[in-house]
Structure 1
Amino acid sequence: MTITKAACVGRPRGFDIDLALEQALNVFWRHGYEGTSLNELTEAMGIKKPSLYAAFGNKEQLFLKAIDLYENRPDSLFNTAFKHQYVADVVRGLLLGAAAKFTDCSHPQGCALINSTLSCSEASESIKQAVLERKAQHKLQLIARFEQAKHQGELNADCQPEVLARFISTLFQGMSIQASEGASIEELQQVASMAIAGILILYVNPK
């Protein structure tokens, strides 16, 4: 989507909202919500502050729009993994996918959702709560998928979908932090493969 209005103070001609939002996402991803200044955002987005306010509202609204962009991409971690028919492949897709995406050098390392609020203070409580709500929704998605697999006989009676979902969410958190601290894809793949092997042995019924 592109805005092409007459030139005015703070609004460049041909201001591409989608591209600007992509640039804002990368800044939040790299520095976190509180660590990102408006000056850094406008510089990365190639606009002035009045354009930012006119197109996105304030910093908080811009951040939420950027996270929406991150999560709704067709190739996002959940969207890609949940395309698989069998739950074993879903688990592989989630964990090996996280290892690959969190270490992808084409963007900041780790998970944008996790990285953005690691050091939020009370001043950013509303942002922290918004991110926690999104993480809770992800957990509910995992629980629902595992409950479906259990009902279909893919997961055995010992599997507790809520516990398995919490386990995978915990792995995401740890893998994201490790990636942001410089862990390689090979190192995270080793962690993912170990977790996958344990899940398959403990809970997944043979086809």
Structure 2
Amino acid sequence: MTRGRPREFDTNSALDQALAVFQRDGFEGASVQALTEAMGICKPSLYAAYGNKEALFIAALRRYTDAQEAHRTALLDGEPDCRRAVALLLHDMVASHARCQSSSACLIVRETLGGTAAAHSSEIREALASAMASGHSTLAARLVRARNEGQLTPACDTTALADYFSAVMSGLSILAKNGASADAMDRVVQTAMHAWPEERSPRIAQRHA
């Protein structure tokens, strides 16, 4: 009797379902059975498409990162004032954590700092590092643009500022994982925004005089 081929499936939809399992259970806790059930496929289809659980995790992580960066870019580019744009991004993170309490910690931060995925392969470690760097690059590019537009002084260290707010975003994810309330995280955002450089380029200051 001829063995049937693994059935075809919508890879994007399947990755979204796999991502939900990884967010809920973590890499170590996500069993192949739980993943295939959520994805609506059989094990041969999973192995044929991705090879193993590690490769599936990397594919889901990349999809997650792409979606996160598209959303962040839209928020940061949609508000002309960079300070307000960064505050909007941070408050949006708080709201997202509050909506998704069952998997509130950012998958990237959770698996980088306290998860077990990175211990399984150098490919996973590289994927997590790339995901972290992507978020930092998006924020840094917006800050450089703000400096070029005169919203920050020419002497402003945009790399250090991006480092700081990236650390704040990671901290919000950790707070969410530990059960912090939205009000508590919003207070952290308000405090963090006090670090924003008050000095503006002279030409911008004149416009607001």
Shared fold (TM-score greater than 0.5)? yes
Q: Contact 1:96–1:193 (CA<8 Å) still a contact in 2?
A: no
Matched AA of 1:133:
S
The structure 1 residue matched to 2:115, chosen from 99, 119, 129, is 119
TM-score (norm 1): 0.81
Alpha-carbon spacing, 1:91–1:179, altered in 2? closer, same or farther (3 Å): same
The structure 1 residue matched to 2:32, chosen from 21, 34, 38, is 38
- 1:136 aligned onto 2:133: yes
- In structure 2, the partner of 1:25 is 19
- 1:174 aligned onto 2:168: no
Q: Contact 2:150–2:200 (CA<8 Å) still a contact in 1?
A: no
The structure 1 residue matched to 2:93, chosen from 85, 98, 106, is 98
Q: Contact 1:77–1:98 (CA<8 Å) still a contact in 2?
A: no
Structure 1 residue runs of 5 or longer lacking an equivalent are 1-6
The structure 2 residue matched to 1:65, chosen from 59, 62, 78, is 59
Alpha-carbon spacing, 1:119–1:75, altered in 2? closer, same or farther (3 Å): closer
Matched AA of 1:115:
R
CA separation in 1, counterparts of 2:122 and 2:174? 21
Alpha-carbon spacing, 1:8–1:190, altered in 2? closer, same or farther (3 Å): farther
Larger fraction in helix:
2
Q: Contact 1:88–1:200 (CA<8 Å) still a contact in 2?
A: no
Matched AA of 1:119:
G
Structure 2 residue runs of 5 or longer lacking an equivalent are none
CA drift of 1:68 comes to: 2.4
Which of structures 1 and 2 has the bigger CA Rg? 2
- 1:86 aligned onto 2:77: no
Q: Contact 2:69–2:138 (CA<8 Å) still a contact in 1?
A: no
Where do 1:43-62 residues align within 5 Å? 43-62=37-56
* Secondary structure at 1:171 match in 2: helix
Matched AA of 1:171:
V
The size of the alignment, in residue pairs, is 199
Alpha-carbon spacing, 1:45–1:107, altered in 2? closer, same or farther (3 Å): farther
TM-score (norm 2): 0.81
CA drift of 1:153 comes to: 0.9
Where do 1:179-194 residues align within 5 Å? 179-194=176-191
1:169-193 Cα distance to aligned partner (Å, 9 max, x none): 1111111011112112222111112
The percent identity for this pair of structures is 34
CA drift of 1:202 comes to: 6.4
